[in-house]
Structure formats: structure tokens, C-alpha cells
Amino acid sequence: MSMDKQPRMNRTGMNLKPGESHEMIDGAMKYPPSSGGDGFVLLQERAVYIGQGEPIGSIPLPLTPRGAVETVKGVATGKQPLIFADRLGERLAFERSGTRLYQGFLGKVMSADTPKGSVSAQEVEEILEDEHRHFLLLRRAIEMTGGDPTAVTPAADVAAVQSMGLVQVLSDPRTTVDQCLCALLTAELADNDGWELLIALADGLGHKDLVSEFEEAFANEERHLMLVRSWVQDFAMSEAGITRKSAAKPTRARGTTKGTTTSTTKRTTRSQT
Ligand SMILES: [Fe+2]
Ligand SMILES: [Fe+2]
């Protein structure tokens, strides 16, 4: 599905009928807000609700004796292992949504008249497999640290809300491949930063065994981001009739697990120990 070559009449702009715009302004003036106040009063009102509001969920305590001991030991040294549990839950929720996003996208790509040399269904399937593998990795990591992968942590709850708009874009039958790619770009940008943070937390809390596995997932995510970025640009340039100078396409690095590349991103947040 490509952008409609013969756009239908768009009637959303007021300047389409400048002579009648005064009627819309008159109407707005005729029916003002039902209560007084301004933006500052609104902020004050919101502050009351913020002050009274309960937090979004709670971080579940470890279920296993080992997890409980690790948490107590961490707290005794001034660290908060539960923050790691919260973020593990967040990434789990995100990777679950990511898998669904790419399942939806694969359907779009396979049913669309995609311009040659652009998105390949095979590469989309590879990303889909990566996202699902990351989900399984996180489930195992949560179990290893004594957590319950079925529990919704506060950060997971917020991540699910954030993803709602992206899921809507991908599942809407009217959206085009390039419109879906813009939604996927948003997801991949957040995914990259999310994994980087998780690596820093795992490293700082001494989960050395998880760090290397998380770094492999992060390398996958870097490749996803590069691919999606290049597809977004390919589509926009192609739709605009502009010939794009050839750009290097991310490839799988030799000697790495399927879907991984050599990470070049500086992890400034990681501890140096
Ligand atoms: Fe991901
Ligand atoms: Fe990804």
C-alpha cells in the first residue's frame, strides 16, 4: 500500500474557506468554556490531584528465597534491586508489544505494494524473531532474579500505556507501510535506550551473567534502529520523487548470533568497574 497518488479533498483546514472562518470564530466566542479560569488555574487544579493520587502499582517482592536474600543484601549496601525488577518488567512489556507490532507490520508488508529495494519481509521477520527472543530472555532474567514475569510492575504499566498509540497505528487497516514505519521508529528509539539502561543497572547490581546477554540484545536493537531509520527515509524520499544517495545498510556481523551486530554505541551510563 503506498501513499494515495490522488489525494481526496481535505476539508480540515480553516483557510480553505477564509470568507467563512469568521463564523467558526463567532461560534467559539458564543460558546465559551463552562467554567472560568485559565491555564494557571488548571495547573493548580492538577496539583491537587497529583498530591492526592496513588502511585501506579507497586514493585512485586521476590518470590524465591535467593531473590529475597539478594534484595536484602543489595539494600544493605545502599542499592535498590527492586528498581532493576521494575525495569525488567518494563522491558518485558515493551518486547511483548514489540513482537505484536512487528507481527502487524509483517502483515502490512506482505499485503502491500511495497516499492522495490525497500522493506523486505525477510528482514521484518528477522526483527520479529529478535523481539520475541528478547521477550524470552527477559522472562528468564526475571525468573533468575526471583521475580514473577506475569506481574505488571509500575514501569511496565506505563510502558503499556505508551505503546497504545503505536499498536493503534499498526493495527489500523488504513495505515500505510511508511506510516507504520514512523511508529516503529518511535518504538525502536525507546527500545535502544531501554536496553542501554538495563545493561547499566545489571552491571551496577553485579548481574555479570545477564550483562553479556543484554549486550547481545542491545546489538540487535541497534540494527533494528538503523534498518527502520533507513526504511523511513527510503519511503519519504521515494514518495517525494527524490533519488537518495546510497546509504550503507546494516548487516549482520560475522561471528555473532543471528540478529546481532557489533555494538558501536558508547555506553556512558555503565560503571567502569
Ligand atoms: Fe526490542
Ligand atoms: Fe527492536
pLDDT digits (tens, 9 = 90+) for 67-82: 777 777 777 777 788 8
Q: How much distance in Å is there from the Cα of 160 to the middle of ligand 2? A: 16
* 169, three cell numbers: 497505528
Q: What is the pTM of this model?
A: 0.82
**DSSP at 131:** H
Q: How much distance in Å is there from the Cα of 99 to the middle of ligand 2? A: 9
Burial 117-143 (b: 16+ CB within 10 A, else e): ebbeeebbebbbebbbbbbebbbebbe
* 127, three cell numbers: 526483527
Closest ligand to the CA of 221: 2
Which of 20, 192, 26, 30 lies closest to 95, judged by CA? 192
Q: How much distance in Å is there from the Cα of 131 to the middle of ligand 2? A: 6
Question: How many alpha carbons lie under 13 Å from residue 154 in its C-beta half-sphere?
Answer: 10
Q: Could you tell me what percent of the chain has a pLDDT over 70?
A: 84
By the 8 A CB rule, do 169 and 176 touch?
no
Q: How much distance in Å is there from the Cα of 45 to the middle of ligand 2? A: 39
Q: How much distance in Å is there from the Cα of 56 to the middle of ligand 2? A: 26
Q: Determine the angle formed by the axes of helices 154-171 and 177-204, rounding to 10 degrees.
A: 160
Q: What is the largest CA-CA distance in the chain?
A: 74
Q: How much distance in Å is there from the Cα of 85 to the middle of ligand 2? A: 21
pLDDT computed for residue 261 by the predictor: 43
Which sign does the torsion angle of CA 250, 251, 257, 263 carry? negative
Q: What is the mean pLDDT of the chain?
A: 85
Q: How much distance in Å is there from the Cα of 189 to the middle of ligand 1? A: 10
Number of neighbours of residue 88 by Cβ within 10 angstroms: 25
Which sign does the torsion angle of CA 233, 234, 237, 242 carry? positive
Q: How much distance in Å is there from the Cα of 28 to the middle of ligand 1? A: 45
pLDDT computed for residue 18 by the predictor: 86
pLDDT of residue 212 exceeding 50, the answer is: yes
Determine the Cα–Cα distance for residues 265 and 174; give it in Å rounded to an integer. 36
Q: How much distance in Å is there from the Cα of 203 to the middle of ligand 2? A: 21
Among 15-19, 159-163, 205-209, which stretch is predicted with the lowest mean pLDDT?
Answer: 15-19
pLDDT computed for residue 232 by the predictor: 94
pLDDT digits (tens, 9 = 90+) for 110-127: 987 756 457 889 999 999
Closest ligand to the CA of 137: 1
pLDDT computed for residue 248 by the predictor: 55
Q: Which residues, in sequence order, are CB contacts of 14 under 8 Å at separation 6+?
A: 21, 24
**Which band of pLDDT confidence, cut at 50, 70 and 90, is reported for residue 48?**
very high
Which sign does the torsion angle of CA 270, 262, 266, 102 carry? negative
Q: How much distance in Å is there from the Cα of 120 to the middle of ligand 1? A: 19
* 78, three cell numbers: 545502599
Which of 87, 91, 57, 60 lies closest to 205, judged by CA? 87
List, in sequence order, every beta strand (DSSP E) within the chain. none
Q: How much distance in Å is there from the Cα of 6 to the middle of ligand 2? A: 34
**Which band of pLDDT confidence, cut at 50, 70 and 90, is reported for residue 255?**
very low
Q: How much distance in Å is there from the Cα of 119 to the middle of ligand 1? A: 18
Phi, psi of 47 (to 5 degrees): -60, -35
Residue in this structure with the C-alpha cell 479533498, named with its chain if needed: 9
Q: How much distance in Å is there from the Cα of 187 to the middle of ligand 1? A: 8
Q: How much distance in Å is there from the Cα of 259 to the middle of ligand 2? A: 10
- According to the CATH classification, is domain 80-273 in 3.30.559.10? no
Closest ligand to the CA of 90: 1
